[in-house]
């Protein structure tokens, strides 16, 4: 019985691995194709879409309603993402799931998106979005969906690419 459970667990792990690999490949191909496009999008038309799990799990600030509710304590990357939004004039927002994220993307002011999430969410978003998406895979040092992190340099590179200010070390956001 134990053996069977172990075997099933192994098969599940392998399948999960394949799904993640496929999603990561979709993300990388998407970003690679965008590397060769010359974007020139106004910052105020760029949405930086963040997952709820990037917020420190003990923080009670309602950053889904308004990311500017962040108090800037620095316990999670939200502080830096808000600062980056102010620095470049892009609009960061937090979504609690794919449906809310898509509703943000479909708002008329949005012309392009920098999306931060896990591989699976990014793949779904890339397929669902009618607008260009540059995707940044999050970090999950505490496992999925809790206290996740993000490479801020990659978010910055993606923003610069959409604005049309490519840097010498060209963005490879994923």
Which residues make up the interface to ligand SF4 (CB under 6 A)? 55-56, 59, 61, 63, 70-76, 78-79
What whole-number distance in Å separates Cα of residue 156 and Cα of residue 146?
Answer: 23
Q: How far is the CB of 71 from ligand SF4 (least distance, A)?
A: 4
Smaller CB distance to ligand SF4: residue 45 or 56? 56
For residue 54, report the phi and psi dihedrals to the nearest 5 degrees.
Answer: -75, -20
Cα 106 from Cα 85, distance rounded (Å): 20
Q: What is the DSSP letter of 138?
A: P
CB of 135 to ligand SF4, least distance (A): 22
What is the number of other CB atoms lying within 10 angstroms of the CB of residue 40? Answer: 9
Quote the least distance from Cβ 152 to ligand SF4, whole Å: 13
Q: 77 or 125, CB closer to ligand SF4?
A: 77
Tokens of 29: 């191909």
Three-state SS at 24: helix
- For ligand SF4, the closer CB: 26 or 53: 53
Structure tokens belonging to residue 101? 């994220």
The b/e string for 151-171 (b: 16+ C-beta within 10 A; e otherwise) is beebbbbbbbbbbeeeeeeeb
The residue (of 72 and 89) whose beta carbon lies closer to ligand SF4 is 72
Of 55 and 129, CB closest to ligand SF4: 55
Q: How far is the CB of 46 from ligand SF4 (least distance, A)?
A: 21
Contact indicator for 135, 122 with CB cutoff of 8 Å:
yes
Q: Tell me the closest approach of the beta carbon of residue 67 to ligand SF4, in angstroms.
A: 8
């Amino acid at each position: 019985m134990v053996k069977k459970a172990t075997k099933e667990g192994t098969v599940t792990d392998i399948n999960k691995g394949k799904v993640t690999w496929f999603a990561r490949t979709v993300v990388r191909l998407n970003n690679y194709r965008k590397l060769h496009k010359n974007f020139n999008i106004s910052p105020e038309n760029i949405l930086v879409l963040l997952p709820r799990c990037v917020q420190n799990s003990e923080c009670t600030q309602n950053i889904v309603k308004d990311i500017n509710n962040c108090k800037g304590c620095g316990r999670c990357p939200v502080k830096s993402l808000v600062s980056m939004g102010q620095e470049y004039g892009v609009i960061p927002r937090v979504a609690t799931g794919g449906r809310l994220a898509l509703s943000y993307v479909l708002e008329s002011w949005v012309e392009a998106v920098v999306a931060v999430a896990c591989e699976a969410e990014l793949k779904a978003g890339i397929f669902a979005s009618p607008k260009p998406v540059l995707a940044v895979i999050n970090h999950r040092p505490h496992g999925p969906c809790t206290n996740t992190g993000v490479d801020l340099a990659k978010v910055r590179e993606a923003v610069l690419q959409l604005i049309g200010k490519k840097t010498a070390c060209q963005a490879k956001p994923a």
